[in-house]
Structure 1
Amino acid sequence: MASRRSQHNEQLKGKVCVVTGASSGLGESIAIMFAQRGASVTLCGRNEDRLQASLTLCVQASGGQAGRFLAVSGDVVDPSARKAIVEKTVEKFGRLDVLVANAGVADPQCGILTASEETFDKIMNTNVKAVFFQIQEAVPHLEASKGNIIVVSSVSSKIASTPNIAYPMSKAAVDHMIRCLAVDLGPKEIRVNAVNPSYVPTRIHRVPSETAGEAQEFLLNIEAMVAAKHPLGNRCISKDAVTEAVSFLASDAARFITGQCLLVDGGRHLMGFLHRPVPK
């Protein structure tokens, strides 16, 4: 038993990983678990202060091995930031084994009657375009290492939702990107997968302070509302549950798994349509 536990704790030992959106939420949790399991990690995020705080947590989780970590600040929508993420990783660690494309945005007021083109473009550019071109930057190095890619998608790609339509549209695009890239990059021995979690309370779901009315009320009560839709335990999933799935897909234990969108949702996708109150 102890031997198995030791192997699990070294699941990613020696691997060099990039995690985007690592300054909070799921990205931070993924980076910390990778640190615990032996990986060297480049953490990427837009907010310098939060990114440094996440970096500190990773160093602590590794037992103080600061040399295994790098922080690169920037917005993945910016091509120069995407390029810097890969170049600085390879410069420091000499290789790249795993790309976790986690950075994403959402907006509860992006329905057919409420969306602006600016908001629509922000969601699509961050959740789809930036992911596509971040992968493009990483492919030559992943081919050299026979590495893999994990994109954080969402159960919302499988369920009709209103009025927040642009976000699930973006995640549906991500899911099909995964399938296409698995075929395209398979001959290079690069695996490509996604995890599709149900609702996890993180910063992506925050509402601006000036937002009022039904949308604000919904987000304040969303955990109870979504938990009731989960067949498994009638509770929301934890960040650790999603992170465990990402760690597995990143590891050699998943060496023959590619093109999969792994639902980590307690059966939420089986429960059908999700209605969100329309903001006034």
Structure 2
Amino acid sequence: MASRRSEHNEQLKGKVCVVTGASSGLGESIAIMFAQRGASVTLCGRNEDRLQASLTLCVQASGGQADRFLAVSGDVVDPSARKSIVEKTVEKFGRLDVLVANAGVNDPKTGILTASEETFDKIMNTNVKAVFFLIQEAVPHLAANKGNIVVVSSMSSRAASSPNIVYPMSKAAVDHLTRCLAVDLGPREIRVNAVNPSLIPTRIRREFAPDEESLDKHFAEALVTEIAKQPLGSVGVTKEAVAEAVSFLASDAASFLTGLCMPVDGGRSFAGTFGNKS
């Protein structure tokens, strides 16, 4: 048992990983779990202060091995930032094994009568275009090491919703991008998978409330709704549960998995609105 636990704790030992959107929320949790499991990690984010705080948590999780980590600040929508993320990673660590495309944005005003072209472009450019072209930057280095890509999608990609329309559209696009890239990059021995979490209380939904107190209330109400529709009942998905799924897909244990969009949602995606609560 102890040996098995040790192997799990070293699941990503020696891997060099990039995690975008790592300055808070899910990306931060993924980076910390990677740190715990032996990976060297480049953390990417827009807010320098939060990014440094996440970097500190990763160093602590690694037992103080600061040389295993790098912080690169910038917006993945910016082509120069995407190029810098990959180049600085390879310059510091000499290779790239795993790319986790996690950075994303959302906005409540994306209904057909409320969306502006500016909001539409912001969501699609961040959630789809930036993912596509960051992967393009990374492919030559991933191919050299038979690496892999994990895209953070959403359960919302699988269900029609209203009035929040553009965000689910963007996630449906990255789901199909995942499948297409699995075929396209397969001959280079690069695996491409995605995770599709249900609602997680992170900063991506900060636009949905004017202040922290209102945001907490928003999350509480939304979680009650989501939990009522999943087979696992009172259990809500956590950042750590999603990070576990990403860690598995990024590891050699998933060596024969590609093109997979993995729900991490307590069964919500197949239960419809009439889960059995008996």
TM-score interval, smaller chain: over 0.9
The answer to whether the 8 Å contact 1:34/1:41 transfers is yes
Q: How many angstroms apart in 2 are the aligned matches of 1:25 and 1:210?
A: 19
- Greater shift, 216-225 or 242-251, is seen at 216-225
The answer to whether the 8 Å contact 1:98/1:250 transfers is yes
Q: How many angstroms apart in 2 are the aligned matches of 1:247 and 1:209?
A: 31
SS in 2 for 1:12: coil
The answer to whether the 8 Å contact 2:178/2:194 transfers is yes
Q: Which residue of 1 aligns with 2:276?
A: none
Q: Which residue of 2 aligns with 1:253?
A: 253
The answer to whether the 8 Å contact 1:105/1:126 transfers is yes
Question: Is the alpha carbon distance of 1:215 and 1:241 closer, same or farther for their aligned partners in structure 2, counting shifts above 3 Å?
Answer: closer
| Cα distance, 1:160 vs structure 2 | 1.0
Letter in 1 for 2:272: G
Is 1:183 aligned to residue 183 of structure 2?
yes
| Cα distance, 1:231 vs structure 2 | 1.3
- Greater shift, 8-17 or 231-240, is seen at 231-240
Question: Is the alpha carbon distance of 1:43 and 1:233 closer, same or farther for their aligned partners in structure 2, counting shifts above 3 Å?
Answer: same
Q: How many angstroms apart in 2 are the aligned matches of 1:59 and 1:93?
A: 16
SS in 2 for 1:150: strand
Q: How many angstroms apart in 1 are the aligned matches of 2:93 and 2:3?
A: 28
Q: Which residue of 2 aligns with 1:141?
A: 141
| Cα distance, 1:229 vs structure 2 | 1.4
The answer to whether the 8 Å contact 1:196/1:263 transfers is yes
Q: Which residue of 1 aligns with 2:93?
A: 93
| Cα distance, 1:272 vs structure 2 | 3.4
| Cα distance, 1:221 vs structure 2 | 1.6
Q: Which residue of 1 aligns with 2:206?
A: 206
| Cα distance, 1:271 vs structure 2 | 3.6
Is 1:170 aligned to residue 133 of structure 2?
no
Is 1:41 aligned to residue 19 of structure 2?
no
Q: Which residue of 2 aligns with 1:276?
A: none
| Cα distance, 1:237 vs structure 2 | 0.4
The answer to whether the 8 Å contact 1:155/1:269 transfers is yes
Cα deviation per residue 1:132-169 (whole Å; 9 max; x = unaligned)? Answer: 00000000000001000000000100011110000000
Q: How many angstroms apart in 2 are the aligned matches of 1:76 and 1:39?
A: 22
Among all aligned residue pairs of Structure 1 and Structure 2, give the percentage whose two residues are the same amino acid: 79
SS in 2 for 1:143: helix
Counting matched residue pairs gives 271
Q: How many angstroms apart in 2 are the aligned matches of 1:186 and 1:210?
A: 45
- Extract unaligned runs of 5+ from structure 1: 274-280
4+ residue segments displaced more than 6 Å: 214-217
- Greater shift, 100-109 or 218-227, is seen at 218-227
| Cα distance, 1:210 vs structure 2 | 4.4
Q: How many angstroms apart in 2 are the aligned matches of 1:44 and 1:173?
A: 22
Letter in 2 for 1:174: V
SS in 1 for 2:207: coil
Q: How many angstroms apart in 2 are the aligned matches of 1:194 and 1:238?
A: 17
Q: Which residue of 2 aligns with 1:14?
A: 14
Q: Which residue of 2 aligns with 1:240?
A: 240
Letter in 2 for 1:175: D
